[in-house]
Structure 1
Amino acid sequence: MAQQYELEHPPSDGISRIKFHPTNDTRLLVSSWDQRVRLYDVKTNQLIASHHGHAAAVLDIAFGNTTSFSGGLDRRLISWEENFTTERELGRHEGEISALEYVPSHSILLSGSWDRTMRAWDERATQPMVSKVNLDERVYSMSAEGNLAVVALAGRKFIVFDVRNLETPLEERESSLKYPTRCVKLMPSGQGYVCGSVEGRVAVEYLQDVKDKQHYAFKCHRQTTDEGIDLVYPVNSVAFHPVHHTFVTGGSDAIVALWDPENKKRLRQYQKYPTGISSLDFNASGNILAIASSYTYDEGEKSHPPDSVWIKPVTDQETRPKSKK
């Protein structure tokens, strides 16, 4: 089994998001608080491109069919041609852009913002913004899969949409977790979603029309000190394995854990990384896990290890669910 390794030429400030290309197993997009978007080839460990198109921190990114997208604190939504040779401003939000999700089956980009809107964009159109949905609260996180999108809002709210009809939400619900949401990810099956909170808990939630599944939640990313004090860390990222539909979580405790949602078991916990985990993603084949180890300022300004991106080869046996006894 190949050893994990660190990408060369990492961002110089906090890493906000890492995302693999939907079909190219070796292309990884990385956004950072240093105002740059970077494209890496993880197989050759090369920085292919680095572009400074934003005037403030970049909070999220997405791969399109032939382009990529970025948005952040400067409120601008930018479309990049391949390898960042050309940029185009698709539009702007009235508040910071906090989440981006591309829906390949419909060739639209969804953007969520602290201005309490979600917008849909078609970069092929003369007027790219094709829909605007007003929301009750700021968008914290977002995920799309097939025809579905789930939006996590401030105030512990979730809204599920069919992207073919954004005017009418399919579901609106309150989180089963008592503390603010950090991340949300739709299941590859579309039956539900997994969310993580700032209080070291994960919830597995199923949609209303899924009758044979029960919601559940569990504690994770916690440590007990020698004095018996329970240290609780935020869960910052969730990523599903594209083949086996197990999932990983990354927390501010610098730990990555792999879970089996069907059997409600932790499959493994990987060794500790230099600092907290800000973002995770599997490549399309499911044989590589990318891990952003980057301090997320949960404890305010303090000295911390350099920000880094780790490429971890994973095996089929390692990531598959365990059969029930």
Structure 2
Amino acid sequence: MAGLFGSAASTSTSNTIGDLKNDVAVSNPPEDTISDLTFSPTADILAVSSWDKKVRIYQIAGNGASEGKHIYEHDAPVLSVDFSKDGNKLVSCGADKQAKICDLQSLQTVQVAAHDMPVKAARFFELPNSNGPMLVTGSWDKTIKYWDLRSQAPVGTVTCQERVYSMDVRNSLLVVGTADRYVNVINLQEPLKFYKTLQSPLKWQTRVVSCFPDASGFAIGSIEGRCAIQYVEDKDSGSNFSFKCHRDAPSGNITDVYSLNDISFHPQHGTFSTAGSDGTFHFWDKDAKHRLKGYPAVGGSITATTFNSSGTIFAYAVGYDWGKGYMGNSPNYPTKVMLHPIQGDECKPRPSVKKR
């Protein structure tokens, strides 16, 4: 049986350097920097949001071939996308201060949320007593708002300490990362209050927060090439740690440090990826505190990543992340979405060594 993308042989190797030779580019990519990627939970359908004000939806075939299925626009750069649990709806939000939902069956798009400033993140969630998916949006206006999709007004608003930079949901866990390194943990059973607030253990600006698949904690990435693993409950706090990644080897007294732009968890194994403006991605096992694989630079900053629901495809976006300002950009800078087939033990946790 041929592996995913045709020729991918499942080779088990202890080598920690992975290869990119089977990676496939998505056809007809966005025309400007890609801000977010998300796969449908029910099919290999990939949604891509971009600074070109568009959301693109692709069907990904088993051989890695991609076909554009739908495209729709916002009035300003789109910053985030997320699928509903049943895969029937896609939410997108952005610098036009609103969130829209696209129905994947009818391909109709409606505005469902509004803020006073750009909306940085939008996530679907479901509560036991709700009659369908709910939506939470986080904005640079320093608020998060909850939306019932049948109502035009928010059903709840929580004011944060600062602008929302990143947000993630898993089960009843909502984690909100803001400016000034605040991290707010909310139990969605009590959505209008902070269950816990902490300052990031990392010393510099938060770029991304990402919940563990089992919702017991979350990972934080910052602009200084560091990642922190944080558990929600104090009883687990002995397992909290942070580590350096996305840094070059020191040269004299100088170490080049790169922003960690995205963190994605493998849906089955609970291992995770980090990707950064150095153009590399790595797979990690947080329980073993071990790097599973590192990959060569891909020729541009990696701005967003995601796994498909079966954990067989890792998608990553290559594009300019504005880390070096206006002067760092050029017409030749690549903008593309790549699909990396997960082979062998690339993302599998290492067998734990029992301590006697």
In structure 2, the residue matched to 1:7 is 26
Runs of 4+ in 1 over 6 A off after TM superposition: none
Residue 20, structure 1, aligned to residue 42, structure 2: no
Residue 228 of structure 1 deviates from its aligned partner by 6.1
Residue 272 of structure 1 deviates from its aligned partner by 1.4
8 Å contact from structure 1 (residues 39, 47) kept in 2: yes
Same amino acid, percent of matched pairs: 34
Paired AA for residue 50 in structure 1: I
Give the TM-score of the pair, scaled to structure 2: 0.87
183 and 172 in structure 1: CA distance in 2 versus 1, 3 angstrom threshold: same
Match for 2:123 among 88, 101, 108? 101
8 Å contact from structure 2 (residues 99, 112) kept in 1: yes
22 and 213 in structure 1: CA distance in 2 versus 1, 3 angstrom threshold: farther
Aligned residues: 322
In structure 1, the residue matched to 2:233 is 208
1:230 aligned counterpart, secondary structure: coil
Residue 128 of structure 1 deviates from its aligned partner by 5.1
2:96 aligned counterpart, secondary structure: coil
Farther-moved stretch of structure 1 (28-37 vs 73-82): 73-82
In structure 2, the residue matched to 1:89 is 111
- CA deviation map 1:1-60 (0-9, x unaligned): 532100010000010000011121x100000000000001121411111112x1110001
Note the aligned Cα RMSD (angstroms). 1.6
8 Å contact from structure 1 (residues 39, 83) kept in 2: no
- CA deviation map 1:243-285 (0-9, x unaligned): 1100000000000000000010111101211211111101111
128 and 81 in structure 1: CA distance in 2 versus 1, 3 angstrom threshold: farther
1:155 aligned counterpart, secondary structure: helix
In structure 2, the residue matched to 1:235 is 260
Paired AA for residue 252 in structure 1: S
Match for 1:117 among 128, 143, 146? 143
User: More strand per residue: 1 or 2?
Assistant: 1
Farther-moved stretch of structure 1 (143-152 vs 41-50): 41-50
8 Å contact from structure 1 (residues 288, 311) kept in 2: yes
- CA deviation map 1:173-193 (0-9, x unaligned): 011110010000011111111
Residue 217 of structure 1 deviates from its aligned partner by 0.5
Residue 316 of structure 1 deviates from its aligned partner by 5.0
281 and 264 in structure 1: CA distance in 2 versus 1, 3 angstrom threshold: same
Q: Structure 1: how far apart are the matches of 2:114 and 2:238?
A: 40
1:231 aligned counterpart, secondary structure: coil
84 and 161 in structure 1: CA distance in 2 versus 1, 3 angstrom threshold: same
In structure 2, the residue matched to 1:276 is 301
In structure 2, the residue matched to 1:33 is 51
- CA deviation map 1:96-152 (0-9, x unaligned): 0001111145511110000010011121x2335211111111000001001110000
Paired AA for residue 267 in structure 1: L
In structure 1, the residue matched to 2:66 is 45
Paired AA for residue 25 in structure 2: E
In structure 1, the residue matched to 2:14 is none
Q: Structure 1: how far apart are the matches of 2:53 and 2:117?
A: 17
Match for 1:58 among 78, 85, 102? 78
2:346 aligned counterpart, secondary structure: helix
Residue 167 of structure 1 deviates from its aligned partner by 1.5
Farther-moved stretch of structure 1 (145-154 vs 226-235): 226-235
Structure 2, unmatched stretches of 5+, are 9-21
Paired AA for residue 160 in structure 1: V
8 Å contact from structure 1 (residues 198, 233) kept in 2: yes
Q: Highest Rg: 1 or 2?
A: 2
8 Å contact from structure 1 (residues 246, 260) kept in 2: yes
1:211 aligned counterpart, secondary structure: helix
- CA deviation map 1:259-316 (0-9, x unaligned): 0000101111012112111111011111110111111010012225221100111035
Residue 312, structure 1, aligned to residue 340, structure 2: yes
Q: Structure 1: how far apart are the matches of 2:268 and 2:233?
A: 25
8 Å contact from structure 2 (residues 91, 123) kept in 1: no
Q: Structure 2: how far apart are the matches of 1:251 and 1:126?
A: 38
**Equivalent runs, 1:257-268 vs 2, <5 Å:** 257-268=282-293
Farther-moved stretch of structure 1 (38-47 vs 277-286): 38-47
